[in-house]
Amino acid sequence: MELLERQETWSITYNHALGETASWFYAKIRDEGAIYGKRCAKSGRVLVPPRSFSDETLQPTTDWVKVGPGGRIEAFTIVYEKFNNLPDPPYAFGYVLLDGADTALGGYFKGVDLADPAAAAARLKVGTRVVATFAPQRKGEMLDFWYELA
Amino acid sequence: MSGNRVGIIGIGQSEFRSRRDDASYPDLVREGVIRAMEDAKLDFDAIQAVVYSLSPDAMVGIGNAERLGVDAVGGRNKPFLRINNGGATGISSAVAAYYHVASGMFDVVLTAGADKIGECGDSQTVLNKIWDPSYERPLPLGTINMLAMSAVRYMDRYGMTEEDMARVTVKNRHHASLNPKAHLRKPVTIEDVMASRLISWPIKLLDCCPQSSGGAALVLASERFIKDNHLDAVWITGVGHSAETYWMGDRMGNNPTAEHADAYALGRSFEKSYRMAGITDPMRQVQVAELYAPFSNTEYHSIDAARLSPKPVETIQRMRDGEYQIGGRIPINPSGGTLCTNAIAVTAMARVAEVALQVWGRAGDHQVKGARLGVASGNGGDHQIFGTMVIEA
Amino acid sequence: MGLRNQPGIIGCSIRPVITSRDRSLEEVIYDTGQLALKDAGLGIEDIDGIVVAANDQFDGRSISVMMASGPTGGVDRDIMSTPSASEHAFILGALRVATGQFRTQLVVSWSPTEVSSMAEAQRLGADPYFHRALPLDELSAHALQASAIEQALPDARVAAENVTKKNRDQGRLAWPDAPARPAAGPMRWPVTPAMTSAPVMGAVAMVLAAPDFIAERGLRDVAWIDGMGWATEPSFLGDRDLATAPALAAAAGQAYAAAGITDPVTAFDLAEITDATPYAELLAYEALSLCPRDQWAARSADGSFARGGKLPVNLSGGVLTWNPVFCTGMIRIAEVANQIRGRAGRHQVPNARRGLAQAGSGFAMQYQSAIVLSKAARTKGAQVEGAQVEGTRP
């Protein structure tokens, strides 16, 4: 028999409150080109990106700590497949432990030739030193900075 | 807990496929339910409560799609609620149904669900929105990219190679070829996997699960009901859940509690289930396992977390030696597993269903001979929330 | 059958309206959970498990439990979520305590207003096969139900107006500083704007505990769960008689049987009912066997269900006062718990010994729950045997 289809699209807009902690973090990125974490007094760990409380101790975090811009690659992947609503491949991104931080911060890796996957993966291997690089024009968001090999 | 045990008395699963254009979403739910009810040889009147299994609404494209499934599960005017623990939902629903019976309030409880991932044109877009809008969502994260990074760390720490990943696919595709309900049933070679197109380094197409459509259901009952009615059953002797941090970057860096290479909270959940079931030496006591692993690399850390290997480097070696295939020492994913069939809302329920069939001795061509005790697991969120179960004959 | 162990509510945090934008949703959930723990006098280390409930389409997250796990203490703990309804998180938490496998549970629900159109988010809940093309949001579904009720009972409108006035008056006593609530939207006949309340952001959390834990810690101010019932209407509105609430009648039957209640009219010192519209409250009176429909007009006029009446309903002001849409059901339960615990604040009823909470949600209240809470714990013998759940036995 004839089987019919109906195409439906979900399109809803949200305005998420970032709260004081994330707002302060993004304002510093926008205005100073600097990345800050927040320390959990109970564990002593510097959480980057900053959280207002630690999900391990459930205690509020206390003081701000400037971290980076240098750091080491903790994880990466190189994407060769096109996904809807994501950038055109190839691109590399992952997580970096910035100097002075205890947790890793995500971002794109730029300036690495991705044409040969194995060679690119070798250049981005875990432990590689990188530096956070800031866009000259910044909006106060995660994509205002990326990582380049040090 | 003698006398207060909870048993599985009915199991239903679809033959999972890419598309099911002949069936609406509730039709697919009904398919699993009817099969489970026939298996349990009960009328719908016997069902006292329903636990509905459904992960992201957006995957089926219907908000609170469980409301649409009420009739399919015979839920009208009965206690009914839905569980969503992401990819763990199917096992979490089975565990929630277990709690319904173990509370003493109900004798017979149905849990059921279905998914039609094949109808969602943007599954990785939906899955990007599992991350928080403030920090991690702006990154091109999806479940594939997330677990590619786990593979990178597992390689770095324990020496897993791309061929080791491929070996898991080869094993599970062989298993799936024996299971008529599995979605991807064509056997492949290591060379096939290595030559398949790169998705997110080091994950290639054949390291990935498919997007499947189908339904599944289980009927659980109290020991009293099972004995009074002279029913056949297998027994749920251990259950557990545990979660780890939502933040990907917190699973790396300086001495993370939950290392992203591993599956820390899955291990914690298994600890709970094993303690409850009185299992002290899983490598000797567990005879079959269905471990939720949607990408080849994640089967390794799942085996580690289930303590079915002494340590990660050994896991890699034992996989090379064929110890985890049917006929080996502890067959893992004899159904073909999540790698060959993934209808997210019921994937982890299929893990429970398959272990139940194995210890019941009803698994057909993929039966693990003599299996009397098995374990199942489910992973949800950004590899964050885990559920586990021990099932015994 | 009864619950193996009788759970008690030992801590509540009710935040029916949150206006500040200085906290993210995740932080609001953290604050709410911490307040409930503080109210219980416990720390997170005392919590064995967590159940949360939220609506992904309201939250703008694909799997809301993920974001909520950290702030509720889910790291290294047993956490589950019931996105069908806020009250379902409470029910699952109670079942988990009843198994004897958990000493405590933290249950949390929330409802933000960060979506540009809540009606649009709700419309996604209409199936794409037959109903998505219709303008079907929750308010429209409530209006269809109200219209069916008016068709069956012409003087229901007078009763609905009385209920509206009662709840708004009680809301002003409970929340003297709150501004008058704007309506949820334009008229959807026969539901007038005055009979609705605009959505606000809110959150609620409760701590549940097992009898041995409560005894061991010497906790007082406990609201014991005497009976629970929950049930569901069919999927399509067209398959229902919208002028009736059979699922709620079934849920009430389960709860009353478990609690041993034979005469609901005299059994309770107070009740909280999900008055998304006053028609929903009226229909609940009937399904909960509190007042047959032919007496709605008279009893709503004579103050029977008002403060000082025989059975005060919605002393908190109900949903007509604050409408954090998704978590209004769990708030009803928490309000009754706080009354039993003597911690309801301005709207405390003196000497509340037993109360009834009704939670309804979904299109025209598809999900229905009834919870009976008591100041007195069941005796040991009753706890083992329990009452039979009528109508659900095989």
What's the pLDDT tens digit per position in C217-261?
999 999 999 999 999 999 999 999 999 999 999 999 999 999 999
Nearest CA in chain B to A121: B201
pLDDT at C380: 54
Nearest CA in chain B to A95: B249
Q: Which of B92, B257, B268 sits opposite C80 (nearest CB)?
A: B92
Residues of B in contact with A45 (CB under 8 A): 254
Q: Which of C63, C96, C101 sits opposite B86 (nearest CB)?
A: C63
Q: Give the pLDDT mean for C295-303.
A: 97
**Beta bridge partner(s), residue B377:** B388
8 Å CB contact of C21 and A17: yes
pLDDT band at residue C35, thresholds of 50, 70 and 90? very high
pLDDT at C394: 30
pLDDT at A80: 97
Q: Which of C21, C22, C116 sits opposite A12 (nearest CB)?
A: C116
What's the pLDDT tens digit per position in C44-72?
999 999 999 999 999 999 999 999 999 99
pLDDT band at residue C1, thresholds of 50, 70 and 90? low
Q: Give the pLDDT mean for C200-221.
A: 97
pLDDT at B339: 98
DSSP letter at A90?
P
A·B CB contacts under 8 A:
132
pLDDT at B389: 98
> C157: part of which helix (H) or strand (E)?
helix C156-174
pLDDT at C177: 85
pLDDT at B22: 94
What's the pLDDT tens digit per position in C181-202?
788 878 899 999 999 999 999 9
pLDDT at C260: 96
Least Cα separation, residue C199 to chain B (angstroms): 18
What's the pLDDT tens digit per position in C259-283?
999 999 999 999 999 999 999 999 9
Taking the CA atoms of chain C, what radius of gyration do you get in angstroms?
19
pLDDT at C392: 33
Q: Does A101 touch chain B (CB under 8 A)?
A: yes
8 Å CB contact of B156 and A126: yes
A 10 A CB-CB count for C130 gives 12
Residue C73: alpha-carbon gap to chain centroid: 23
Q: Does A122 touch chain B (CB under 8 A)?
A: no
Burial zone of C223 (CB within 10 Å; 0-12 exposed, 13-18 middle, 19+ buried): buried
Point out the residues of chain B with pLDDT beneath 50: 1-2
Q: Does C28 touch chain B (CB under 8 A)?
A: no
Strand order in the sheet with B80-83: B80-83, B49-53, B108-116, B213-222, B6-13, B234-243, B385-392, B373-380, B288-290
Contact residues, B window 299-338, toward A, CB-based 8 Å cutoff: none
8 Å CB contact of C394 and B45: yes
pLDDT at C383: 43
pLDDT of A10 higher than 90: no
Maximum alpha-carbon separation in chain A: 67
8 Å CB contact of C363 and B67: yes
pLDDT at B2: 45
Backbone angles phi, psi at C342, to 5 degrees: 70, 25
Q: Does A72 touch chain B (CB under 8 A)?
A: no
pLDDT at C186: 80
**pTM higher than 0.90:** yes
Three-state DSSP class for B1?
coil
Residues of C in contact with B225 (CB under 8 A): 394
pLDDT of C112 higher than 80: yes
Residues making up chain C, counted from first to last = 394
Q: Which of A13, A17, A56 sits opposite C116 (nearest CB)?
A: A13
User: How many helical (H) and strand (E) elements, i.e. helices and strands, does chain C have?
Assistant: 15, 9
CB B378 within 8 A of CB B353: no
What's the pLDDT tens digit per position in C60-105?
999 999 999 999 999 999 999 999 999 999 999 999 999 999 999 9
Give the Cα separation of B229 and B10 in Å (integer): 14
B·C CB contacts under 8 A:
219
Least Cα separation, residue A31 to chain B (angstroms): 18
Q: Does B198 touch chain A (CB under 8 A)?
A: yes
8 Å CB contact of C124 and A10: yes
Give the Cα separation of C280 and C258 in Å (integer): 25
Chains that touch A (3 or more CB pairs under 8 A): B, C
* Average pLDDT for chain A: 96
* Average pLDDT for chain C: 94
What's the pLDDT tens digit per position in A20-79?
999 999 999 999 999 999 999 999 999 999 999 999 999 999 999 999 999 999 999 999
8 Å CB contact of C23 and A19: yes
8 Å CB contact of B249 and A87: no
pLDDT band at residue A85, thresholds of 50, 70 and 90? confident
Tokens 């005392």, residue located: C46
8 Å CB contact of B250 and A143: no
First to last CA, chain B: 16
pLDDT at A92: 98
**Percent of chain B's residues with pLDDT above 90:** 94
Give the Cα separation of B104 and B55 in Å (integer): 27
pLDDT at C384: 38
**Percent of chain A's residues with pLDDT above 70:** 100
Contact residues, B window 228-287, toward A, CB-based 8 Å cutoff: 245-250, 252-257, 260
Least Cα separation, residue C219 to chain B (angstroms): 23
Q: Which residues of B19-56 are buried (b: 16+ CB within 10 A; e: fewer)?
A: ebeebbbbebbbbbbbbbbebbebeeebbbbbbbbbbb
